[in-house]
Structure 1
């Protein structure tokens, strides 16, 4: 099994999702200002509506973002894997958290309180530009997800599988990636039926791109699936 990134420094563990958006100096300053919090499987980091004010970075494990619908069912929004920073929006607008977030397996999270974040930025105002780029990138991603609704279902499923694979990726980009997610959850993320998702995944499996299992799938040929998504008209979305 490939080992996760070295967590003794921000390099690799804190920079992946902000690569090219924030300076190494800012990344280092945030890492030094953070404390480590350990979560057990299923433990809640925060709930929707919470007034918590922290910036978070996943050091190891994974976090699940979800929203509970009116009928009490859970709708998966996304997964955060090692290298992901999140929570900065609430630090700036001081509004309640928009989702529930809990640990998937043993998880370690770096925590930077909002007052420490603001102090770091106030000492170096030019770093506010870095956060402006981060927030603009998140807006682009949100718009990209809206744009996917006009794509063929096969492309949408492939795009989301590639997106989820990033949360489960360690080491060699060409290695198989096991994604722990049911087809029902994937269907809810896409707003389609489970039957539609199953049909497309079965075709992916027939082509040798994925292997299906109970409550999971393994991405075997990421390059081939990526090519399928690009040819389906989503090349710009993959570049996000």
Structure 2
């Protein structure tokens, strides 16, 4: 979910499932129907300015596994997720794919290249059926000239993502595997800090393999820890899902390092 510095790992995306994206009709005016639960810079703007930004956006429809853009590509659009999920991946020379960040409905991405004209640092790929609203760079620049508040909000927004990246990098360097796993589950449950633990999601769509890739550990090591936690009543495991059953207990695991 947030910074491009998050450094999580994920399994490979099959090239045979990748199709080209296609733009369709203009983005709808009523974005509120999409239940945007995570802060993005567009929604943080005053209503008049937010509406002006949305009026310049078009809609992009994707099926599972479509590339939005590729690492090294010179594209400059900004995207807002209306529904679905987008994962940012980086391929290593050894053939592994690292998940730099996973964005959910209500989150935006692509701001960095839109601002500095540099190439994309990741592959951006849809995970499941996904709907995006797209803002072209030329429209962003015109809007920034008219509304200086946009630049200020973008700076604040990107600073938050940098801070989150530093926090996750520190955790990865200092925490033991069980503590790191507990920390990451709690972070995902709170939608990367945008919800309190009291409001945290209880049921997370994660497999053992997803967790192993996130931690950079073997599936066997991660599965062993998850099964121990399930036996203690901390979590409940079902197909493709990990349900949090004792958040206070998971917090204690983080504190133990």
TM-score computed with the length of structure 2 as normaliser: 0.75
Aligned 8 A contact 1:67 1:77 in 2 = yes
Segment of structure 1 superposing worse, 66-75 or 130-139: 66-75
Q: CA deviation at 1:34?
A: 1.1
Q: Is 1:59 equivalent to 2:82 in the alignment? A: yes
Partner Cα distance (1:75, 1:124) in 2: 37
Higher relative contact order (CA 8 A, sep 6+): 2
Partner Cα distance (1:150, 1:105) in 2: 33
Partner SS for 1:146: helix
Q: In structure 2, what is the equivalent of residue 237 of structure 1?
A: none
Partner Cα distance (1:173, 1:19) in 2: 22
CA pair 115-193 structure 1, distance change in 2 beyond 3 A: same
Q: In structure 2, what is the equivalent of residue 238 of structure 1?
A: none
Q: Deviations over 1:104-127 (max 9, x none)?
A: 111101110111111111111133
Q: Is 1:227 equivalent to 2:227 in the alignment? A: no
Partner Cα distance (1:120, 1:19) in 2: 14
Q: Which of the numbers 210, 220, 223 marks the counterpart of 1:198?
A: 223
Partner SS for 1:105: coil
Q: In structure 2, what is the equivalent of residue 17 of structure 1?
A: 39
Aligned 8 A contact 2:82 2:106 in 1 = yes
| Aligned-residue RMSD, C-alpha | 3.1
Partner Cα distance (1:223, 1:24) in 2: 36
CA pair 56-134 structure 1, distance change in 2 beyond 3 A: same
Q: CA deviation at 1:200?
A: 2.4
Q: Which of the numbers 200, 205, 210 marks the counterpart of 1:179?
A: 205
Q: Is 1:207 equivalent to 2:197 in the alignment? A: no
Partner Cα distance (2:182, 2:190) in 1: 13
Q: CA deviation at 1:195?
A: 3.2
Q: Is 1:76 equivalent to 2:102 in the alignment? A: no
Q: CA deviation at 1:190?
A: 2.2
Q: In structure 2, what is the equivalent of residue 163 of structure 1?
A: 187
Segment of structure 1 superposing worse, 9-18 or 97-106: 9-18
Aligned 8 A contact 2:234 2:250 in 1 = no
CA pair 29-207 structure 1, distance change in 2 beyond 3 A: farther
Q: CA deviation at 1:222?
A: 6.5
TM-score computed with the length of structure 1 as normaliser: 0.79
Partner SS for 1:17: coil
> Structure 2, unaligned stretches of length 5 or more?
1-27, 192-197
Q: CA deviation at 1:19?
A: 7.3
CA pair 152-87 structure 1, distance change in 2 beyond 3 A: same
Aligned 8 A contact 1:158 1:225 in 2 = no
Partner Cα distance (1:208, 1:106) in 2: 33
